[in-house]
């Protein structure tokens, strides 16, 4: 049987990043086969790991694509597994998973809706979130106020935020709402800093009244996927996504034939969503 370092195996099965797991091992919080785990330990399929009362059975190493689901997050949900204030979380209605756990690829704040990817593979999740991966994130944003050509130039060339300079790679005019002062744009970022879209607009004295993420790399939130609904990505899409961050998987045709797909699910959420369609491109 193939052996691998315990932190790599546990990251693969979704316990956390390798660095996080190494810290847990240093604190003596992980047991391997009823003994306190050490950083140099290797594991193989069938070994039993205990952490915080949770039992994890090490799975065989495969090169098959991991599970990835896309979730249409509504406003009002938080992106943590539990919330001390009792607010609903994105994990409340996800499908059960036999091994490991669902890991969110990045976060959206409480008042932001749209696309969240989740996977059962810690290595894939961490690589997709790492700043060095430089993956496009696209948002539909409703702005209150007048956006001039000078403002468009500033937000695409760079504004100064408290945690450093930031800019949109692209800004697309998606039209207005009736005769009001609200106007929709689609914007593209290459990173995922906290509240970055809102803060860029605030830096030019404009307020964001609605915000929705509609794309993460090659994965697009389709208009047919309603609020609160999740869908499993097909293996070919997972392979395409993973290739962006240097991970390579192969489709096991027999596994595809036997695989039981995760059924789509939608909670009832009475939220009206903005259009996902782009309008004509504006000059930067």
Full-model pTM: 0.78
Q: Of 41, 83, 109, 150, which one is the catalytic site residue?
A: 109
Residue 163 among the catalytic residues? no
For residue 126 the two structure tokens come to 């961490």
Domain co-membership, 142 together with 226: yes
Longest dimension (CA), the chain: 68
Q: Name the domain count of the chain.
A: 2
Do 221 and 274 sit in the same domain of this protein?
yes
- Tokens representing residue 225 in the block: 């996927």
Asked which of 35, 57, 79 is the last residue of a domain, the reply is 57
Per-residue tokens: 255: 């596994």
Going across the sheet that includes 54-57, the strands are: 35-36, 30-32, 48-51, 54-57
Contact between 225 and 231 (Cβ < 8 Å): yes
- What is the rounded CA–CA span in Å between residue 68 and residue 103? 9
- Show the domain range for 109: 63-284
Q: Which single residue is written with the structure tokens 């009362």?
A: 53
Residue 23 sits in a domain whose CATH number is: 3.10.290.10
Spell out the per-residue pLDDT of the chain, length 284, in tens: 688 999 988 888 878 778 889 999 999 999 999 999 999 899 998 999 999 888 888 888 777 898 999 999 999 999 988 889 999 999 998 888 876 789 999 999 999 999 999 998 888 998 899 888 889 999 999 999 889 999 999 999 999 999 999 999 999 999 877 656 789 999 999 988 899 999 999 999 999 999 999 999 999 998 899 999 999 999 999 999 999 999 988 876 554 444 445 554 444 333 333 334 443 333 33
């Amino acid at each position: 049987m193939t052996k691998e370092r315990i932190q790599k195996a546990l990251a693969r099965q979704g316990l956390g990043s390798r660095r996080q797991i190494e810290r847990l091992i240093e604190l003596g919080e992980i047991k391997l086969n009823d003994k306190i785990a050490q950083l140099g330990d290797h594991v193989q399929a069938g070994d039993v790991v205990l952490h915080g009362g949770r039992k994890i059975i090490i799975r065989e190493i495969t090169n098959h694509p991991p599970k990835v689901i896309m979730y249409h997050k509504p406003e009002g949900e938080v992106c943590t597994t539990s919330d001390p204030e009792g607010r609903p979380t994105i994990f409340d209605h996800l499908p059960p998973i036999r091994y490991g756990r669902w890991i969110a690829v990045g976060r959206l704040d409480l008042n932001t809706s749209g696309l969240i990817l989740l996977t059962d593979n810690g290595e894939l999740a961490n690589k997709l979130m790492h700043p060095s991966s430089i993956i496009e994130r696209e948002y539909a944003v409703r702005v209150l106020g007048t956006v001039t050509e000078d403002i468009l130039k500033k937000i695409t060339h760079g504004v100064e935020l408290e945690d450093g300079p930031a800019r949109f790679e692209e800004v697309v005019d998606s039209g207005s709402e009736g005769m009001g002062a609200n106007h929709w744009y689609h914007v593209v970022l290459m990173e995922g800093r906290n509240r970055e879209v809102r803060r860029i607009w605030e830096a030019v004295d404009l307020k964001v009244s609605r915000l929705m993420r509609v794309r993460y790399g090659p994965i697009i939130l389709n208009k047919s996927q309603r609020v609160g609904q999740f869908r499993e990505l097909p293996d070919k899409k997972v392979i395409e996504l993973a290739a962006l961050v240097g991970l390579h998987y192969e489709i096991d045709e027999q596994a595809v034939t036997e695989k039981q797909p995760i059924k789509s699910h939608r909670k009832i959420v009475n939220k009206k969503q903005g259009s996902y369609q782009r309008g004509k491109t504006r000059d930067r």
